[in-house]
Amino acid sequence: MALIAPSILSANFLNMEADINMINNSEADWFHLDVMDGRFVPNITFGMPVIAAMKAKAKKTFDVHLMIVEPEKYIEGFAKAGADVLSVHYEASTHLHRNLQIIKANGMKAGVAMNPHTPIELLADLIEDIDVVCLMSVNPGFGGQKFIERTYHKIRTLKQMIVERGASTLIEIDGGVTLQNAGLLIKDGADVLVAGNTVFSSPDPADTIKKLKEIGK
């Protein structure tokens, strides 16, 4: 059963409450929140105050994806803002293992996000310590981009590593997820599907979430 995580990046920022309620009342499992700093990625989104405001209305897990440099400086802040799962980028973490320890010490599940160019094998020495691997299937920074096909191979390699090591790590796919590729992603081992454009550009977002959920059943 795959978890569905609509990405707030594609929601209506002028009426966030309506989209939060839509997700609350839908079959979605998590809220996916993309934090960008204009340094790690060429875009800037929102930070702790906005997440804390949304948290007051949201009724599901907050999955916060940090696309920022020096994420260690803000781990405690995002815990206080309401993050339940916090992902830092592999490429932004000089001391990734330490970052995972700090995330867990702050009461959150620890995630590692990997850019499309980063070999998944680099996680071999700490896979047991990771709750969620957020595999980027587009270059991070923007919603609505085209899915990178090589991701299927990365999912299979990662799944094999997780099974061989007896780890309980979830595989999350972020970027370019559609109603067309969701089934193949789940077949290869995806546990969580992030979907921004596919959900929010559809005429009936709650129904699109339902359809994604059905594919994962």
Among all residues, which ones are annotated catalytic? 34, 174
Rule CB under 6 A: choose which of 3, 195, 209, 212 binds ligand DX5.
195
| Contact pattern for ligand DX5 over residues 43 through 72, marking x by CB under 6 A | ----------------------x-------
| Residue number, 4 or 120, with CB nearest to ligand DX5 | 4
| Residue number, 82 or 175, with CB nearest to ligand DX5 | 175
Q: How far apart are CA 40 and CA 92, in angstroms?
A: 7
Give the chain's radius of gyration (CA, Å). 16
* Contact between 198 and 177 (Cβ < 8 Å): yes
| Residue number, 9 or 75, with CB nearest to Zn ion | 9
| Contact pattern for ligand DX5 over residues 114 through 153, marking x by CB under 6 A | ------------------------x-xx-xxx--------
216 binds ligand DX5 (CB under 6 A): no
Binding-site partner at residue 144 among Zn ion, ligand DX5, none, CB < 5 to 8 Å by type: ligand DX5
Contacts of 197 (CB under 8 A, 6+ apart): 10, 143, 144
The tokens describing 50, both together, are 């906005």
Q: How far apart are CA 84 and CA 7, in angstroms?
A: 15
Q: How far apart are CA 210 and CA 114, in angstroms?
A: 27
Task: Count interface residues toward ligand DX5 (CB under 6 A).
Answer: 21
Q: How far apart are CA 3 and CA 216, in angstroms?
A: 8
3-class DSSP assignment, residue 102: helix
Binding site for Zn ion (CB under 5 A): 34, 65, 174
Q: How far is the CB of 166 from Zn ion (least distance, A)?
A: 28
Q: How far apart are CA 89 and CA 26, in angstroms?
A: 29
| Residue number, 96 or 177, with CB nearest to ligand DX5 | 177
